[in-house]
Structure 1
């Protein structure tokens, strides 16, 4: 999920009449565009390598794959990759908090870029301890950056009514997908065919370039991006510090005891974090629903929003498997070639960004065309289509899986077809979900609710991590078919209950 939107209304920017522009937009957009592009380049390049590196050298690795990886099973790889993906989105919440209360957006993005670069450098060092430390740093840095860089894009414009604002975010969004497109082609090729660790090092170089140009271009950013909107008071800072240190001490003591007893396993890492990924959004919604200061209509809309959140959770649980379940299948069971020309498995991760850039204008134009004729589908219908298409994509996945089960290699175009169906589903659900969040959120929780939408991906990935941890084989046809059926049934359930959900939405369509 690459979509990125501002989390709060922005103060008016500094104006520089007669200055240079970036495609008609403030010059600072070029700085943020390039920063995000290089961050996505490093992030998606690492993601393209990660599932392959985790199983490299193990019994479940594809034939002909280079060694030197961690030699994990497919079950462990799925659990760790899904957990990592979920944590990135979970960490956008504290990332936004640090930008709002501690460092301000500009400083937070700088610290985030340094953390990401350091994380990739640790990934470039062979060995499990450095690997997991590096993965944690990349997740933390990505959470810090994702929540704040979009806010700085908003700072470049004269509030939400600036006519250039939507276009500016469209340009910024293209930077995300451009980085996601180029990363597997460069980092994936180097990592998969030359050296895993050299690929991770190349990701660090990408983030380093992004950091340098960000620091050089900060003079073009709004002064508002350097301001802490609501700084912590001295008492709040002491309270947060004490509580954080206490939580860390408890966690450290627990793992020290378990480690000393010699009973620590992989589950001690994956299960608590995956459970947290499910518990956090549940607690957030419980807290909002129990807030008696909200009006009746706000409470009703929150009840309606939970339907969409659950739908998004199911969607992302399937969609994100394109980066690990489908990737490992491609490595072992697909003909990764076109017209006799072979390509690295990691290149499949470039398919979605290409399709996003090609299809997003088409889908947006289709909605406008239907709207002019009074036939644009409601938000509920768009979500239903997103879920149903996610299910269809995994029904399609059963075709190459059946081919492979018969001892034959599946054609690469089957995988491209799956990514195509998922991308259309993403365009039906993700942008619509973000827009819906801004409409249905209580004013009191507007910023938190934008972060909450990303938690749907966290919850979906956390569920898949737990399933894999406890023995569910995500690579089996039975499980893939069951997931497809769940998505389609969930979509049909929302369709059947659309009248009730529409009433809960309080006039929002």
Structure 2
């Protein structure tokens, strides 16, 4: 029913078909993103369950959580070099096409019934997702006549609906097949989804803006040679090091996980420090970066808790929840569809609510929204203490406890995440305008790497004490931002 997605609307040609009144290329990018998210969220829903399953890799929950967290952190960590690759090497369109093929190859590798190829598959999916993430959003922007095009915000809203449509459907389809039929068949379905995405992207490229073919800042011959040489040196060092650990018999999985998690914490600090120390920034830009660090640290705490919805909560559900409604049993992976369906239902409500408050002059400031999101995500883990207590008494916790936790986390996400994206663009120094979205993604990396390090250290993340501590940390972080809102507001300058 592809024709039902398009309709005639006002256009520059008068006869050109549009996608809900937007450039036809938006349909191509919408479907590409939908299928990419279908494959990504389907695999993500299966990943921790496959890692702990007796007929999977049969790992302990701590190791499974560490792998899951490191994988998520890599996806967001690689978004920055992915954006750089699109800007300097291939251009957005070619980078997205190659990224889709790499993701599909990664899922096919995961579909192989071999533990030896499993981590290679995860790595390929992470690399492909990093390449695709920044560049496909850039291509959406190319469809419009600059930032003042009145259709631009609506276009991005439709595009992000594609994310949630794919994220909602994936656990229901891929999760069911993976859990109830065969894990590797589930991963193969993820590959099929990405394959469909790549196919329709290639067929629909004629509708995209020609700017997506352009390399905005191509590397000079000297820069290309230098980049290649440095890359090969680092690759060689890593290969020699890990070959040495294997030959000497000391290699364990932690030799891979620990360096990545440490890098995921160190790199964000280095990037922020480099921007903050830049002498070319004006005094106002320096102040705004000082203010932005408050939001960055708080966001890392938020994502540390929020992203455990796919690991700590899922593993708890697998072992300690009554996964049924009115006597009807459902796969554990289906919990991962709760958030996207709630996003689709609540996002328009939140948008209308903020607009209504704005008309009355009562819309909360960025600081208040941000602190509220932190308090809410902390509250979700305080709520988590209830099913943990029930399970501790030897009973199965009702499914609705988990649904309630995901509901509170979704409300927290809608309060904080859009605000974080907005404040990142508003507070970005002019020199780093195109890089700051990658900096925002590094907050996700830092949060997930914190979870990964705790898991590697053997911390039981679904223990009541640890859950309560994380909840308290988020609430205190939200309270601190609110209490010091005057100081933060002063650092933000004209940003509200």
Asked if Structure 1 and Structure 2 have the same fold, meaning a TM-score greater than 0.5 normalized by the shorter chain, the answer is yes
Query: Within 2, Cα distance between the matches of 1:364 and 1:15?
Result: 29
Task: Report deviation, 1:431.
Answer: 0.4
Is 1:317 aligned to residue 299 of structure 2? no
Which residue in 1 is equivalent to 2:169? 182
Which residue in 2 is equivalent to 1:221? 208
Change (3 A) 1:191 1:16: farther
Which residue in 1 is equivalent to 2:39? 42
> For 1:122-161, what aligned pairs fall within 5 Å after superposition?
122-161=109-148
Structure 1 stretches of 4+ with a deviation exceeding 3 A read 14-17
1:372 pairs with 359, 371, 384, which one? Answer: 359
Query: Within 1, Cα distance between the matches of 2:404 and 2:463?
Result: 19
Which residue in 2 is equivalent to 1:75? 62
Task: Report deviation, 1:471.
Answer: 1.3
Q: Secondary structure at the match of 1:473?
A: coil
Is 1:451 aligned to residue 448 of structure 2? no
Which residue in 2 is equivalent to 1:165? 152
Query: Within 2, Cα distance between the matches of 1:366 and 1:162?
Result: 24
What are the superposed Cα offsets for residues 186-221 of structure 1, whole Å, 9 maximum, x if unpaired?
000000000000000000000000110000000000
Which residue in 2 is equivalent to 1:424? 411
Q: Secondary structure at the match of 2:27?
A: helix
Query: Within 2, Cα distance between the matches of 1:262 and 1:211?
Result: 41
Query: Within 2, Cα distance between the matches of 1:454 and 1:199?
Result: 28
Task: Report deviation, 1:126.
Answer: 1.2
Query: Within 1, Cα distance between the matches of 2:195 and 2:458?
Result: 39
Query: Within 1, Cα distance between the matches of 2:220 and 2:494?
Result: 40
Which residue in 2 is equivalent to 1:61? none
Q: Secondary structure at the match of 1:21?
A: strand
Unaligned runs of 5+ in 1: 1-13, 58-66
Task: Report deviation, 1:16.
Answer: 5.0
Q: Secondary structure at the match of 1:447?
A: coil
What are the superposed Cα offsets for residues 203-250 of structure 1, whole Å, 9 maximum, x if unpaired?
000000011000000000000011111110000000000000000111
Is 1:266 aligned to residue 253 of structure 2? yes
What are the superposed Cα offsets for residues 376-414 of structure 1, whole Å, 9 maximum, x if unpaired?
111110111000001000000000110011111111011
Q: Secondary structure at the match of 1:207?
A: helix
> For 1:48-447, what aligned pairs fall within 5 Å after superposition?
48-57=45-54, 67=55, 69-447=56-434
Query: Within 1, Cα distance between the matches of 2:118 and 2:108?
Result: 9
Task: Report deviation, 1:17.
Answer: 4.6
Change (3 A) 1:484 1:182: same
1:32 pairs with 29, 32, 56, which one? Answer: 29
Task: Report deviation, 1:447.
Answer: 1.2
Query: Within 1, Cα distance between the matches of 2:493 and 2:268?
Result: 23
Query: Within 2, Cα distance between the matches of 1:129 and 1:437?
Result: 40
What are the superposed Cα offsets for residues 275-314 of structure 1, whole Å, 9 maximum, x if unpaired?
1111111111111111111000000000000000001000
Query: Within 1, Cα distance between the matches of 2:12 and 2:206?
Result: 12
- The alignment of Structure 1 onto Structure 2 pairs a total of residues equal to 486
